[in-house]
Amino acid sequence: MEKMEPQAIQDCTYLALVDSPAPGVNNSLPPRTRVHIVIDHHRDGQQPESGATFIDNRPGLGATASILAQYLQELDISVDKRVATGLLYGIRSDTRDFSRNVTPQDLNNAAFLLPLTDADLLDQIMSPSLSEETLAVLGTAITRRKIQSGYLFANVGYVRNRDALPQAADLLITLEGVNTALVYGISEEAIIMSARNRDVRLHIGNVLREAFGDIGDAGGHPNMAAATIPLACFSRVRNKEELLSLVVDPLLSRFAAITGLENEGRNGI
């Protein structure tokens, strides 16, 4: 994989977004970038128009990889072993091994891919080594956790690897008495949040979208969601942890107002 620079993107004849609904939404493209193809499975809600010629967005499916696997079946395209392995991993990962947001179509597409995959490679991907940074983020999230009325909040401070946040959220949501977990931190460019939820009365994707959609990229599913709030001119501030402590209270107040925690008092969360 290559990180595409702006000029290289402009030179592309066709541009496709996969697992993202529009330019600038969960990707680093400028919002007005012309895209031709959008393939996604997230609920579009109030997302901006992509302007694409071909759009296939199926919020009912558990993974975008499931859509692509269906394409391969219906078009009778020979599937490379590495491609099959990657797609099956995508379905298993997004559905947390068929335990979250899974549909019969996801199961059928996974069954199609299974005999075509490299079992040893899939095992390596599904059981990656844990980096020291990820371990440190998990430890920080555990020690800094604060719980109120079934809501858990954890400030992990400055992070280089944003993928550590959803791993921390996945871990903390399993704590006894916790129904919703919100893990947040700050990078060089943005405040990052990852949320997990098992309260059937709450759609955590809608909550994050309502709370932060007007100032950043936010949204997701009923039981998993994320938000990215750009720092803009504040990105020049050197002490990112201090910056986070200054701005996070108003942000969490938005979340508390929507979920009703505001009426109970957040006790310094």
CB 68 within 8 A of CB 86: no
β-partners of residue 186 are 158, 191
pLDDT of residue 101: 83
CB atoms within 10 A of CB 193: 26
CB 163 within 8 A of CB 131: no
Give, in degrees to the nearest 5, the angle at Cα 58 between 57 and 59.
110
Q: How far apart are CA 263 and CA 269, in angstroms?
A: 14
Which of 208-245 are b and which e, b meaning 16 or more Cβ less than 10 Å from the residue's Cβ?
A: bbbbbbeebbbbbbbbbbbbbbebeeeeeeeebeebbe
**Please, what CATH class does the domain formed by 132-262 belong to?**
alpha beta
Q: How far apart are CA 151 and CA 131, in angstroms?
A: 28
CB 51 within 8 A of CB 34: yes
Domain boundaries, the chain: 64-126, 132-262
Question: 207: which 2 tokens?
Answer: 């909550």
pLDDT of residue 20: 85
| Per-residue pLDDT of the chain in tens (269 residues, 90 and over written 9) | 677 777 777 788 888 999 888 887 767 777 788 889 999 987 655 455 667 889 999 988 999 999 999 999 999 999 999 999 999 999 998 888 998 889 999 999 999 999 999 999 999 988 877 889 899 999 999 999 999 999 999 999 999 888 899 999 999 999 999 999 999 999 988 999 999 999 989 999 999 999 998 888 888 888 889 999 988 767 777 788 888 888 888 899 999 999 988 666 555 55
